[in-house]
Amino acid sequence: AVWSSTISGATATGITGGTQNYIPKFGTGGTGLYLSQFFDNGTNVGIGTAIPGAKLEVAGQIKITGGAP
């Protein structure tokens, strides 16, 4: 990834600050970085949960449409 100096908190090695293991997302208009609902503990990924107990754990309802298995 290439970090632009226009991103608040960006350095040559990444983004400073934030909350450990939460995957950041860009804010409206592509400015600023904010916490997302995605959590990655290095083994499992959680959406809406900070304590995923499986490779992918979703807290709440999900909707899957289209496609074939």
pLDDT of residue 22: 86
CA separation (Å) from 30 to 19, 22, 43, 57?
Answer: 19, 18, 29, 27
> Residue 32: pLDDT band by 50, 70, 90 thresholds?
confident
Quick one: DSSP state of residue 17?
S
**What does the pLDDT look like over 46-68, one tens digit per residue?**
999 999 999 999 999 999 899 88
Q: What is the CA radius of gyration of the chain?
A: 15
19, 25 contact by CB (below 8 A): no
